Amino acid sequence: MRKAFSGALRDESEPDVIRLTFECEKQEAELLLAAAYEAGTLGVIEEDTPAGRGRLHVFLDESSSDGADFLAGWRAKAICEDQVEVSSAVWPDWSPQPVGKRFFLVPPWLDAEAPEGRLRLTMPPGSAPGTGLHPATQLALEGLERCLTPHDRVLDLGTGSGILAAGAGLLGAGTVFACDLDTEVLAQAKAYLGTVPLFAGSCRALRNSCVDLVVANLSQFTLAAVAGEIARVLAPSGRAVISGFTCEQAESVLRNFPMQAETILTRDGWAAAILRKPGGNVR
């Protein structure tokens, strides 16, 4: 089950929230999810059903005209519509937590301040991959801590929610830009990242040796497919932080990269690696 909620948390005593529940095929659920965000949804909960279909709970402000239009457009397909109070049973039970030595992850509906010496990183509110709770994402953030230097040119490859690009910016990167093949994901990342440049595509669109650091939280198969391109776009002595694979998969992932593995990080069965491209002066 996936939960995703906007950062504009409502007063929990206000009951004027409509919950609309749909059951549909997975592909239709993706279209419905996109339409829900266009309508200004307060949040969504996605579930898988035993039959392999998708169940989607969409929460909308009853007073929103956009929400009313959304309801009118999809009402025939809804299996349930009710009015609910915004409560702790509805909002995800995420809590602030430290990651690595520098970051402090905070859900978007909380005002918690970061402890002294840590950087407050707001969790993305959308449903795109990368809330910051998964070990692979946290390992990637820790990798950024270890190797990003001020003024680095950083590419977040397959940005998902944009959380790694945001983390790079907090650490003092000179330039951060991000890309993803999924245009719907990019729309959510844009809302989260603000002015960070984004483009639809992959590192194949970039010229040689144009970045100092690539961070990529991707599956083992995707990493294998883009390993050579990551090395190509890195400047000599540039580094890559790769994650998204298990400890068992690490050896097979790393052999695809024409780069030296400097550090291997692990957590809860997941792994990440910091790789360095040969040549130039070691930073």
> In the structure encoding, which two tokens stand for residue 66, read together?
């956009």
Is beta strand 211-217 parallel, antiparallel or unpaired with respect to 153-157?
Answer: parallel
239: tokens are 């580094």
Per-residue DSSP letter, 113: P
CB-based contact 138:132 (threshold 8 Å): yes
DSSP string for residues in 257-278? -SSEEEEEEEETTEEEEEEE-S
Phi, psi of 265 (to 5 degrees): -110, 145
Give the per-residue pLDDT at 93: 60
Task: Kindly report whether the global pTM for this prediction surpasses the value 0.75.
Answer: no
Rounded distance, CA 230 to CA 237, Å?
13
* Cα distance between residue 101 and residue 282, in whole Å: 23
The pair phi, psi for residue 39, each rounded to 5°, is -85, 0
Kindly list the structural domains of the chain, giving each domain's residue range(s) and its CATH number in brackets, ordered by start: 2-84 (3.30.70.260), 97-276 (3.40.50.150)
12: its two tokens: 């929990």
Q: What is the mean pLDDT of the chain?
A: 82
Q: What is the pLDDT of residues 117-144, one digit of tens each?
A: 999 999 886 555 677 888 999 999 999 9
What is the reported pLDDT for 228? 97
- What's the token pair of residue 24? 């549909």
**Tens of pLDDT, residues 23-60:** 777 667 767 776 776 666 766 777 666 666 777 777 77
